[in-house]
Structure 1
Amino acid sequence: MLGASSLENSKKPRKPPACNPCKVRRVLCHPQPGAAPCPRCVEREIICTTAGTPRGRPRRNVTGFSGRAQQTPHSLVLHPGPDFGTSADCPEITPEFATHCFEGLKFNPLYSHPLISATFIRSKLSAASFQLDLLSPPSRVLALCSVAFGSMCSFHKCVLGDGPRPESFLDHVFFSSSPDLLGCGIRRAAACRALRSQALKASWEAGIILSASDENAASCFLLDLIEQTDICSAGRPWGTAYMAHTRTLAPTWHASSNLSFWSGFLWIACLMSDNLVSARGRTPAMVNAQDQLLLCGSPPPLESLLETLELSVDNHNSTLLWVSTKAYMFHVTTLARELVERITGDFARTHPLSEAIVRSFFNSLSKTHSVLSLLLDRIDTLIAATASVNPPALLADSRTDFLAVTAAFCCCFGFSALVLPFYRELQYREASDGSDMSEPLLALRMQAHGLAVLGARNLARGIRYLPKIHYAPAQWATIRQWAEFAAEEADMETAPLSPEAAYDLETLADELKLLGYSLHAACTPETVALIERLESHVNRALGPMFLSVDGEADADESPAPSLDEGATIIPEFQNEFH
């Protein structure tokens, strides 16, 4: 028979109590010796606390002479996070579904952001067989944000459900002739919102706003893009965090000799897009002057850029084209910030319009349009140097056609996204001030209208540079505002529209339909009525005899051709993408 001491030694030690976070989630906890955090709390990067469990009958509240309930100073009360909710509509992110979403992201040019490329998230997912749970917490959050962003162009059954859908991301038959194109945006809305909520919850739990890293900055960038397609929050918390991380990380990129990569062509394009969103919403600019200089260098003044291009009309050197394009986008970024700070912003609206400021901005816009015209002529010459007739189907490589098409669209979009908020502000001031508006400002408002007409024409031209099937849901608000402007202009026309003007209206209508495939917001009755207005003007101007079989107008201006599959990579940009 074993003695008492032997029985005591044979007893297993008592298991430590579960931590508070595991108790709340009702999951099995694995307490660690030495008060170390449990594995689940380490994985979620949260505080692991263990409070003692009260035993026996609960005591009554004991109040002192001050009447306040007795406190327990040793207990830690955690502030609850936001309730992102759960949804039965959220698709299960299987390896097959994750692979599908990442395949679709190849067709979205915004996912070519150099910050996302620096995370190597595709390679990490591929190494993990597209199983998100095998990734580190920051990589898993970025993968969830990518899947949520990619779901806006997905045709997977768990996103679109039952019903007509394309057979591939480049199903030209479906995208050109299917009457169910707009219905896809409505059918995918619930799944997209559920995936976004899942990405938001994971991002909050991982604290990506608080820790600067390439992956956290990329996740914040994607969440900001997703927000622009639906909520359009004026505060842009995720965009603010993305830029804050970028400012923290940029000096390390310089120190590690990554200057040529991080100050490249795509960086300035992304910074320009960020400030144009602020200009559209009359909110403080996301990108300041120091950000531009640190990431993109210092370009020549706008006047010098225009003079250089005018004096080198016959010089078709590709290096001059790319340097000039980067300088152009740099100045558009600066003008977007000046527009909000000096003309359209909330503070600027508390003061009367300054004629000097408006005239100076108008002159800058006029010079910007002159630079744009010269750049597009050079880009057209570069693209027309080959026998290929269609734009590239995939905007995700470093070939010359990708650079040329991206440059052309960004240049057109940059000018157009500046002109419309400027013109709308002058319209607003005229309506609110009435007869108090000076004659010079009224004249400038009329001249700004002429720039706005050019802006609509250039936006339509920029869209036609892109592949027939492309995915740009983040540009939804800008495209719709321009479509409304174009419809207003067509409504006021008494004479029949020219074939070129009708072709522009058709381009905008088709772009709204393509956005309707991705977004529920583009499928509302108001947007559908806007599309019908545009198409009615097109039909009256051209008539059925001028329409081709696939519904496109046979105007003289056709989509810009691109280089063939064997196009060479421009040497000075080879390191920008690899």
Structure 2
Amino acid sequence: MFRGTMLHEALSSVSWQIHLLPPELNVLAHCVVALSASISVDYAIIGPGSKPASLSDRSVFSRGADLREYGIRRAPMYRALCAEALRLAFEVGVAFEPSEHNAVSCFILQFIENEKQARSRPFGMAYLSHVRAICESWVDIPDDTGLWAAYLLMEVMETTQRRQPVSVSHHDQLLITGGEPLSLQNLCVLSRGALQERKEREQLLMFAIMGPYVFHVTRVARQLYEEITGDFARRHPLKEGSMAEVTSSLTQLHSIWSFIFEHDEPETHPGDAFFCLSPDQRDRHLNIRACAFLMTFSRATLVLALHRELVRRAAITISPPSSTGHGTGAALADLWASERLTLLRRQVKDMADATLLEVARALRSMPSLPHIAHSQRDAVIAWAEFCLDEADATGSVLPVRAATMETISSALKLVGYSWQLPLGLVERLDAYVDTHRQLIPPFPEDSMFVDMFPEPLDNDWMSMFTMPLGSELFAQSQS
């Protein structure tokens, strides 16, 4: 969204006296400071006690580490810095004047405000308004439109998780990308061809597909809210046509993911080998992991939202009387609708179970800790709750599900480095995991527990929200 070096240069020009920056940059700097406090190792942030020597301290950031203590210790200072950033934002009025600096500030401020679980998203709306104004001023479509589309997708994923209106319109998407992408059906055909190509070609195809994939996930999220999960849709019976379209789109999105990351011959071309790092192409592989992470979690967010809605509808559906041949036409219609809802719920439940395995795999091959702690924190918590709902309903779990729950538990223990987690969430997961502990295989060596802070994120955490190194591969694929 913006070059991190720009803020660095501005601060250098005023001898790192943040209050001497121009008002808009001053707000942006405070936003960056506040959000960076969620990962800082400084005593001023996390308080007295043990601390990592750096973000590369493997004695702290190790396999199986439980880092929740740091999230608890940093919470008071983090919230104080967030409050100061918000105060300055209101004082300067960054929500009212469109600019790239203000767009980034609003993006970060909305992320900060998400912790409050509010129904409104004032800074999110301001961010989108600024993006529209910026895009309308473009004479030519820039090369980095794919990155802008990805940031819009992050906003859409957040609203989908919270069952809030999707503010990104179809026009917004066209304004950024410059036109309609390939249809999902054509994307599936294109992806299938990757199975016949060499691995290097396959990676390039993934970058080319990212733009259309992000476009369609955003489109499906909007349709999901407007026709199935939204407040207006909830006032009416479930539309069969909408369900068919959304589930078909989710299936096609999964097919695209599978064609790229799954293979019929794992012995000769294992799927996880797609993420193996090579010293001479480290930046590219980090971008591959980032793309895979986004592709997995974006679709997973839609699947879980659909599953939750069907569970809710099933819970409030009044069971119609059993048909004995004397029922009225209305009663028979209610019976058919109830049976149909049960079938749809079972189908989507199966889809969610399969998606959960992909989420666990994405966590084991995530590009860096900031990706999970900041861009997908709520999603990981939501999938943890999904696991617990299923486990509590049956009273036990199978070994395969226990292994998945261990992955999610371990991921949450990393998330706890930055944030306080719902009370008892990890302990409940671990209680089920312990019943099958001896049957759970160890994590692969390239998992998140070995390489949590790979370059270029070791000493530049904010690159998670700025133009990443090597991003030209992603950006050029959208042009």
Q: TM-score range with shorter-chain normalisation? A: 0.7 to 0.9
Report if the CA contact (8 A) 2:156-2:221 is conserved: yes
Structure with greater proportional helix content: 2
CA 373–574 in structure 1, closer or farther in 2 if over 3 Å, else same? closer
The 10-residue stretch of structure 1 (471-480 or 164-173) with the greater mean CA deviation from structure 2: 471-480
Measure how far apart 1:279 and its partner are.
Answer: 1.2
Deviations 1:491-544 (A, max 9, x none): 45578623x433321111011111222112x1x42xxx221222222222132x
Among residues 195, 211, 220, which one is paired with 1:313 in the alignment?
Answer: 195
Instruction: Tell me the residue number matched to 1:464.
Output: 364
Question: Cα RMSD between the aligned structures?
Answer: 3.2
User: More relative contact order in 1 or in 2 (CA 8 Å, sep 6+)?
Assistant: 2
**Which stretch has the larger CA shift, 470-479 or 327-336?**
470-479
Match of 1:4 in 2: none
Find out whether 1:373 has 2:268 as its counterpart. no
Q: Which residue of 1 aligns with 2:159?
A: 278
> d(CA) in 1 for partners of 2:210 and 2:446?
23
User: Which residue matches 2:385?
Assistant: 484
Cα distance in 2 for partners of 1:289, 1:122 equals 35
2:234 is matched with: 349
Structure whose alpha-carbon radius of gyration is higher: 1
SS of residue paired to 1:518 = coil
Contact persistence 2:287–2:471 (CA under 8 A)? no
Describe the shift of the 1:360–1:574 C-alpha distance in structure 2 as closer, same or farther (beyond 3 A): closer
Question: Residue by residue, what CA displacement relative to the aligned partner does 1:57-111 show, whole Å, maximum 9, x if unpaired?
Answer: xxxxxxxxxxxxxxxxxxxxxxxxxxxxxxxxxxxxxxxxxxxxxxxxxxxxxxx
Whole-angstrom CA distance in 1 between matches of 2:395 and 2:111: 40
**C-alpha deviation, 1:387, in angstroms:** 6.9
Equivalences for 1:213-362 in 2 at 5 Å? 213-228=99-114, 230-252=115-137, 254-255=138-139, 257=140, 259-261=142-144, 263-264=145-146, 266-297=147-178, 298-316=180-198, 317=201, 318-362=203-247
Amino acid at match of 1:442: T
Contact 2:217 2:299 (8 Å CA) reproduced: yes
1:559 paired residue number:
447
Number of the residue aligned with 2:342: 442
* Residues 283 and 470, structure 2, Cα contact 8 Å, conserved in 1: yes
Unaligned runs of 5+ in 2: 264-268, 320-333, 457-468
Moved over 6 A (4+): 177-180, 380-383, 574-577
1:192 is the counterpart of 2:93: no
- Could you tell me how far apart the structure 2 residues matched to 1:322 and 1:277 are? 23
After superposition, where does 1:368-407 map in structure 2 within 5 Å? 368-377=253-262, 384=273, 388=277, 399-407=283-291
Q: What residue is the counterpart of 1:69 in the other structure?
A: none
Distance in structure 1 (CA, Å) of the matches to 2:11 and 2:190? 46
Work out the CA distance in 2 between the residues paired with 1:446 and 1:349: 20
Look up the SS of the partner of 1:340 in the other structure.
Answer: helix
Residues 510, 565 of structure 1: alpha-carbon distance in 2 compared, 3 angstrom cutoff: closer
Per the alignment, in what secondary structure is the counterpart of residue 154 of structure 1?
coil
Contact 1:175–1:469 (Cα < 8 Å) also in 2 = no
TM-score scaled by structure 1? 0.69
Q: Equivalent pairs: percent with the same residue? A: 33
Q: How does 1:78-93 map to 2 (within 5 A)?
A: none
State the Cα deviation string for residues 422-453 of structure 1 (Å, max 9, x = none). 01100101111132443222211100000111
Residue in structure 2 matched with residue 176 of structure 1 by the alignment:
62
User: How far, CA to CA, are the matches of 2:185 and 2:398 in structure 1?
Assistant: 35
Deviates more, 1:487-496 or 1:402-411: 487-496
AA aligned to 1:485 is: F
Residue 367 of structure 1 deviates from its aligned partner by 1.5
Residue in 1 that maps onto 2:466 = none
Structure 1 runs not aligned, ≥5 long:
1-113, 548-552
C-alpha distance in 2 between matches for 1:141 and 1:348? 39
